[in-house]
Structure 1
Amino acid sequence: MTTIYLIRHAEAEGNLYRIAQGQDDSALTDRGWRQVKALERRFAGVQIDAVYTSDLYRTRATASALYLPRGLTPRLERDLREIHVGVWERRTWGEIARRWPDQMADFSRRMDRWRMEGAETPAQVLERALGALGRIAAENEGRTAAVFSHGYVIRLVLAKLQGISLRDTGDKSPTGDNTAVSCLEWDGASLRVVWQNDNSHLLAPEFLAGEKVRKRANALEPGLYFTPVRLPEQAALLPDLTAAFWEGEPPVPDPACPALAGFLGEEPVGLVQFGPGPGEIALACVRRDCRRRGFGVQLIGQAVYYWRPLGADRLRIVLPEGCAAERFFGDCGFAPAEAAEPGSRLWIKDIGFDPAFKS
């Protein structure tokens, strides 16, 4: 009998920032790295003979929880990749929900009829993923393998192995949490599901001790969509978005620097502006009545996705010393650096990829 532990990757940027990742590479969040450690603790003492992973960064980084402690070399399997979502990739789920509401509903609920320009179909994903699992099982007869893949792929596979059609997968096969573990067995002829989507390692005291009490968007919340702000023509948007973000006078955006307004429905709820220097955030503001709803971190996500393709490996923002925003940026992974000028301090967040997990 062959045992396969099928494991979803840890929390990645797209999960937190509400951006469709698909086959685009994204880094793990700070919380994701804590999930990696929790996964390592969970499997301490468990025999693992081989580790396979999709070749995307977020799965390769997560797989390090099992292969590094055992001195194993991970096997990269392109067929374990997440579904390619075509023109949706790198777009926010808020934009997708606004522009393609019917298709987004089908993506979650009616996989049998979901189609998108440039995308794979769920049936194609299922065919390649099951093929990969069959090869892995055959290569590890009588052994135990850990296989790292992605939420949508795993959801499709678990449903198929339990006789659930693509039409009914949306209703009958939920998406497991980041790093959720499922157990499969191979008898030499077929795979069966022993148990699925177990996240008990995320309920352990060691993990929960690091959890912050804050609002986090979940998979069912599309989040914000963003549009460029044209200054000075759209200056009327600014007062409500910037009021009381920092103590003192509201900051004034520089018309020479690009800015994005984040919308929920028809309402502007936030603003992020990029500075002139590499990785620089000039402003990140959420409207007063929209705070503590998980929107601010989506502004940071826009900064990551703006600056990283331009070669920046860290974000930078200057904050007044002791301002209320320090806690928010600290929660988003920024750390204080040197003083910028009297009464202010530079805060920095690393956004580069670790070359150990990057092709």
Structure 2
Amino acid sequence: MTTVYIIRHAEAEGNVYRRCHGQYDSLLTPRGHEQLPFLAKRFENVPLDAVYASDLFRARTTAQAVAAPHGLSVETRPVLREIDMGDWEDLTWAELPRIWPEEYARWKSRPWEATPPHGESVMQAGRRMLDGVRALVRQHDGGAIAVVTHGSAIRGALTIAHGFAPEQMAEIGWGDNTCVARLDFDGPEQIDVVYENDASHLPQALSTFASIGWKDDKAVPSTMQIWFRRADPMNPADAEKIIAFMRELHRNAYGTDAGLQPDALLRDVVRAQQVSPRACCFGCREEDGAPVALVYLKTWYDAEPDIGLVGGFCIDAAYRGHGLSGQILGQAISVYRMLGKEYLVAHVGVDNARAQGFYQKFQFEKRGEYADANGNHFRMFKRICVD
């Protein structure tokens, strides 16, 4: 008998920024890093001959926590990757029903047969991943290994391992980040699923499901989700809304909007969108498209080539505290990562404790100061490059 522990990676950006991350390579979140010691503790006295992982950052970083107490290195295998989400990669989940209503409706209602455009289905991903595991079982006959992989691939693989028909996938449900399944193999083909989706090693405070409001294992967050559209500075209604958001931002940051120059702001937005059309976007309500947030990025800034500078994040006062902060941050990271930047940087007023708390929550670090007509600011850095 060969024992295989199938482990889902720790919490990653897509899980909390509400973005569709299949084979898109992303980083762990602060909570993801906090989850790792508990996963490592679970496995410190479990005999393991080897630790394998998908070659995506979130999986191989999680695997290192399992391997380290055993003095093992992590061996990566691309076959263990997450589902290929094709044209949906790195889009917000809230955007998908607007662009692909029929395909997304099928994904929600019949996921076992849904395939994102130019991607693969959950069952295809599960079969691919499980075939990779079977190859590892042949190498470690009679031993025990850990395999760190991804949520959709695990769900498809467990459906197959149970001998279920594809339409029985809902009986598997979703496992929380760092959850574990134990599969005992009698040869590569005969599989006994001893347990699955077990995240009992995590305290409730570190559960991803609990933090984003998943009421069950069906992947439906109870908190609000938004999609992003380009804010057009040449459209009078959009221009007025951009200025209104930035006035609110200045008042919150400095107590006054006297330093805001609307015409100069709109000119800068035009410059920024010449670099990336997504440099200034509204975050919109899923149901009716009403703008409830602004993400403005100074993509024209080139004094420090490895830096992506934030021009402003603002959430409508009525929607603060509804889980939008991670989603607007995720949009900024998406834009600047595509532009090849290593760091996301914000200039935060030294007296703006609320904004400093926002950035510190998402692991920005203070590195020096910056002064302009609005006063003194801390320079706050977050590394966004995936190695």
Does the pair score TM above 0.5?
yes
Q: How far apart in 1 are the matches of 2:130 and 2:322?
A: 39
Cα separation, partners in 2 of 1:217 and 1:262, compared to 1, 3 Å: farther
Aligned counterpart, 2:380: 347
Q: 2:285 matched to 1:264? A: yes
Aligned counterpart, 1:166: 166
Query: Unpaired runs of 5+ in structure 2?
Result: 273-278, 302-306
Q: TM-score, normalised by structure 2?
A: 0.84
How many percent of aligned residue pairs carry the same amino acid?
32
Q: 2:343 matched to 1:314? A: yes
Correspondence list, 1:29-48, <5 A: 29-48=29-48
The amino acid that maps onto 2:42 is R
Native 8 Å contact 1:216 1:293 kept in 2: no
Aligned counterpart, 2:242: 238
Instruction: Kindly report the root-mean-square deviation, in angstroms, between the aligned alpha carbons of the 2 structures.
Output: 2.3
Cα separation, partners in 2 of 1:313 and 1:141, compared to 1, 3 Å: same
**Alignment coverage as a number of residue pairs:** 348
* Larger RCO, structures 1/2 (Cα 8 Å, 6+ apart): 1
Aligned counterpart, 2:304: none
Correspondence list, 1:244-255, <5 A: 244-250=251-257, 253=265, 254-255=268-269
Native 8 Å contact 1:308 1:352 kept in 2: yes
Instruction: Give 1:173 shift.
Output: 1.4
Structure holding more helix per residue: 2
Q: How far apart in 2 are the matches of 1:130 and 1:117?
A: 23
Instruction: Give 1:99 shift.
Output: 2.2
Correspondence list, 1:251-330, <5 A: 253=265, 254-255=268-269, 256-257=271-272, 258-265=279-286, 266-275=289-298, 276-277=300-301, 278-323=307-352, 324-330=354-360
Q: How far apart in 2 are the matches of 1:147 and 1:53?
A: 5
Instruction: Give 1:215 shift.
Output: 6.3
Query: Unpaired runs of 5+ in structure 1?
Result: none
Instruction: Give 1:74 shift.
Output: 2.2
Correspondence list, 1:1-359, <5 A: 1-169=1-169, 171-188=170-187, 189-203=189-203, 208=205, 216=212, 219-221=219-221, 223-233=225-235, 234-238=238-242, 241-242=245-246, 243=248, 244-250=251-257, 253=265, 254-255=268-269, 256-257=271-272, 258-265=279-286, 266-275=289-298, 276-277=300-301, 278-323=307-352, 324-341=354-371, 342-353=375-386, 355=387
The amino acid that maps onto 2:242 is L
Between 1:239-248 and 1:110-119, the stretch displaced more is 239-248
Native 8 Å contact 1:54 1:77 kept in 2: yes
Instruction: Give 1:307 shift.
Output: 1.1
Native 8 Å contact 1:110 1:166 kept in 2: no
SS at match of 2:335: helix
Q: TM-score, normalised by structure 1?
A: 0.90
